[in-house]
Structure 1
Amino acid sequence: MLMTPDTLHPPYAPDLCNDDLAPIPLARRDWTWVNMATVWMGMVHNVVVYEGAAGLMALGLSAWNCLEVVGVAYAILFVTMAYNARGGTRYGIPFCVLIRSAFGPRGAQVPVILRGFCAIFWFAVQAYTAAQAMDAILCTLSPGWASLGLRIGGLPVHMALSMVAIWLLHAWIANHGVHRIRNFELVAGPLVILIGLAATVWAIRVGHGLGPLFATPATLHGTAFVAAFTTGVTGMIGMWATFAVNIPDLSRFVRSERDQIVGQAIGLPLTAIVFTPMAIIVTSASIVMFGHPVWNPITLLLLLHKPAIMLFGGATLILATLSVNVVANIMPACYDLMNLMPRRLDFRRASRLVLVIGILFMPWLWFNEAEGIFRVLDIIGGLLGPVTGIMIADYFVVRRQRLTVDALYRHGDVYDGTDGWHRPGIVAFVAGGLAASLGQFVPSIAWLSSVAWFVGVAVGGLAYLALVRPRTARHATQVTS
């Protein structure tokens, strides 16, 4: 049963708070830098990031250039997330509550719903990828598995059953709550890295060194190289732009600012720089073995025709997917749904709702319309760039890192704006979103899409500072920490 806000703090509005959304007392924030690092390790090594190296090399960059792109992109992400996480660490509040200071309690629902949409979509996509690995494992164990020819909703019944198994695994982990998720990542994150290192050693033996991909030079030079490099950096940032917004969902559990920064530094840029060459080296080995690069790890496992490797490798891919999905997608989506219905949903109920909505997305059909779907997601991701800029501008410049936490859970207080809508936040969000998305619709400035996230962050943040009224800034100094 959900506790009512009255049992948490009498002044809290019942439609703005429940146990899971309430501030976490300092005594209960028990995540160390180790927990933060392993959570990020669990997120960074996933199939989408693995295949991202293929996209970079397809632009005409060399393998070494790919590592440079990854280094620059994840350094920018680390700085952005380290700053945006500070409010969560200091006050123990999630993204959907922190953002109320810039948008108002009702206006905050706009970016929260957008973020929730992205989270549930990516959950469905990642879960479907894991289901493919599960299906490959079951086909290996039982050759007759793939012969189950019935179709359910356009999906072969054997694949549908594999998806059911994956969905149940997600439900089992999420049902244990946030603190057990931390324990799961404590094991899963480092374990997948160790397995990746073993795969890399195997690939180096097969390729008699780093392999042909590391010997292939870049095919671009001059302005073309700069354009491709910039596009690569933006694309890599785009994979995590949504998480740059809701990083307070994790940092609220961390016991200190130092733990948050050290953990993210180890788990985010460092892990990414280690993981990317693993993907490239293993793919190099596939060229030696099959004569062409195989970037999809599931396809590579099937081509090897070794049951033991298929079972072990498939289980690793499932573990890696569970690791990223639970923290990067289910957790933020749960908070976003709870923010919409705090009196009806707690974390466990919200996680079950995420699983149901994820099925309704029918990711097996979306895979056939990848170009259109990812264009929509690029637009939504561009809209979240301004949210990042607005949050940083509001917290560091306008509020000077000082918030009245109780006021975030009340209507008619200092953050309420006009009937719950803080207009500078809404207008800056629209302005930044339009600027970031313009390249998608105007061919003459299509190049803008390659830096859409940067444009969104800059325009959103600067527009917010220009629009916020002087009296709002004065209110920022009349708060307690």
Structure 2
Amino acid sequence: MTTQPFLPDPSLYNEDLAPIPQEKRDWTWLNMATVWMGMVHNIVVYEAAAGLMAIGFSAWQCLEIVAVAYVVLFLAMGLNARAGTRYGIPFCVLIRSAFGPSGAQLPVILRGFCAIFWFSVQAYAATQAVDAIAGTIWPVWKTAAAGVLGMPLHRWGALVVVWLLHAWIMNHGVTRIRNFELIAGPLVIVIGALATVWALKVGHGPGPLFAVPGRLHGWNFALAFAGGVTGMIGMWATFAVNIPDLSRFVRSQRDQVIGQAIGLPVTALVFTPMAIITTSATVLLFGRAIWNPVDLLLTLDKPLVTVLGGGVIVLATLSVNVVANIMPACYDLINLSPEKLNFHRASFLVLGIGLLFAPWLWFSEAESIYRVLDIISGLLGPVTGIMLADYFILRARHLDVPDLYRRDGCYAASNGWNPAAIAAFLLGGFCANLGLVWPRAVWIGHLSWFVGLAVAAGLYLEFSRWTALGRKPRQV
């Protein structure tokens, strides 16, 4: 056990990045479960089944893909969350163990960029809902149609409302986030269940989409199934990396495992059939599948339904954004400048940067959004692999926490950069995205997250053995 005094480097430490003492970790399994409930039922996940069914899968096969993907995510996140729960440290601090205090900025910036981008896109989805609500209550709202920077004034007004709602929730830090998710997560599930009951009544059963057989067979089915699983994982690849940002608040390993088990695979398997059944009702009512919830509300043309349904969409978007995007992005920004930023300042900085992404311009290029984010997810798979290999194999689940906040400690590597992690990350990311530059390897894209994780983990352990920079720290 180390006897050195805890004298952290100011460029690596502040109160928001500091380890949370055990007595202050007050999240239970219920908090962890409701946080995940608030994240799983968002518009992107709702529409994901549409993409799978468009490829040629049946509704039941979609559920199988969701089940496999979320079980894999549960295992990866459950393992990656353990260090956060044990030591009370966030992702941006934990990653220093593998990459070094300076090298850690590479995956932190990548994760932060992706988080802010996703926040911006999700927030604009909520903006559309607020715009629909306002236009329903005050028809004059839509008359402000003059365009400014590619968006009408009435949509700008809705965007301001959504950004202010995010700011209100973030204004009081993690405590308000926890309390908000405790209400928002279960509430959206309940409302989704009511929508499903309505859909079952309209369709006199599960509906037409459950009756459509799959169109894929043999090798094509296997490749597409693997691609579907990888795609579902890709939506959460960012969170598989920074799950310690949440697990650091949980009081025990048992709580974080039970909470994630209930909130992740179980909620996903409940929510996905809701989306499919509700969409089935639109086939019967309108002759076509309407997967976008905002479009469905406007098509129903019932003012009360539009207002209440739009409110649910906004609530669901807020619940996923504050935890999955704003919160990790705040820690990532704080890590870049802990002497100048705290959680409160960083949260408003995230809101400002998110606005600069101009999500209303990207929505007309949805394929470009997901192509870019797929590449980033392919790069985050290697980060997950390196983190797991470092903590469970190289460090044998023991970290010298004070040295994570020093530039001259046992994680300093070569002037703050660990070449083993950097090389493994770059090579793992290249292998995961090899199909983009070599057509014969396009099949790798169906397994990109798995390939990146496995290659990077293996190379990291081997490179660490060569460089002898992977020595175990003093056990604490």
Provide the residue aligned with 1:129 in structure 2.
125
CA drift at 1:256: 0.3
Provide the residue aligned with 2:420 in structure 1.
424
Provide the residue aligned with 2:99 in structure 1.
103
Is the partner of 2:408 in helix, strand or coil?
A: coil
CA drift at 1:455: 0.5
Counterpart check, 1:480 vs 2:475: yes
Query: Aligned equivalents of 1:292 and 1:366: distance in 2?
Result: 25
**1:55-84 deviation per Cα after TM superposition (whole angstroms, max 9, x unaligned):** 010110000000000000000000000000
- TM-score, normalization: structure 1? 0.97
AA in 1 matched with 2:429: G
AA in 2 matched with 1:206: V
Provide the residue aligned with 2:21 in structure 1.
25
Q: Is the 8 A contact 1:399 1:473 kept in 2?
A: no
Q: 2:81 aligns with which of 61, 85, 89?
A: 85
**1:94-151 deviation per Cα after TM superposition (whole angstroms, max 9, x unaligned):** 0000000000000000000000000000000000000000000000001121111222
**1:309-340 deviation per Cα after TM superposition (whole angstroms, max 9, x unaligned):** 11100000000000000000000000000000
User: Which runs of structure 2 are paired with 1:235-384 in the superposition (5 Å)?
Assistant: 235-384=231-380
Provide the residue aligned with 1:55 in structure 2.
51
Query: Aligned equivalents of 1:350 and 1:384: distance in 2?
Result: 23
Provide the residue aligned with 2:442 in structure 1.
446
CA drift at 1:472: 4.6
Counterpart check, 1:394 vs 2:390: yes
Provide the residue aligned with 1:221 in structure 2.
217
Provide the residue aligned with 2:409 in structure 1.
413
Query: Aligned equivalents of 2:270 and 2:372: distance in 1?
Result: 31
Provide the residue aligned with 1:232 in structure 2.
228
Provide the residue aligned with 1:4 in structure 2.
none
CA drift at 1:473: 7.4
Is the partner of 2:236 in helix, strand or coil?
A: helix
Provide the residue aligned with 1:436 in structure 2.
432
Counterpart check, 1:114 vs 2:110: yes
AA in 2 matched with 1:436: A
AA in 2 matched with 1:300: L
Provide the residue aligned with 2:185 in structure 1.
189
Cα RMSD after superposing both structures: 1.1
Identity of aligned residues (%): 64
Residues matched between the structures, number: 472
Query: Aligned equivalents of 1:377 and 1:330: distance in 2?
Result: 17
AA in 1 matched with 2:386: I
Query: Aligned equivalents of 2:436 and 2:232: distance in 1?
Result: 18
Provide the residue aligned with 2:144 in structure 1.
148
Provide the residue aligned with 2:159 in structure 1.
163
CA drift at 1:373: 2.9
**1:294-323 deviation per Cα after TM superposition (whole angstroms, max 9, x unaligned):** 000110011111111111000000000000
Q: Please, which moves more after superposition, 434-443 or 81-90? A: 434-443
Q: Is the 8 A contact 1:386 1:429 kept in 2?
A: yes
AA in 1 matched with 2:437: F
Distance 1:380 1:471, change over 3 A: closer
Q: Is the 8 A contact 1:244 1:388 kept in 2?
A: yes
AA in 1 matched with 2:124: Y
Moved over 6 A (4+): none
**1:271-308 deviation per Cα after TM superposition (whole angstroms, max 9, x unaligned):** 00000000000000000100010000110011111111
Distance 1:474 1:246, change over 3 A: closer
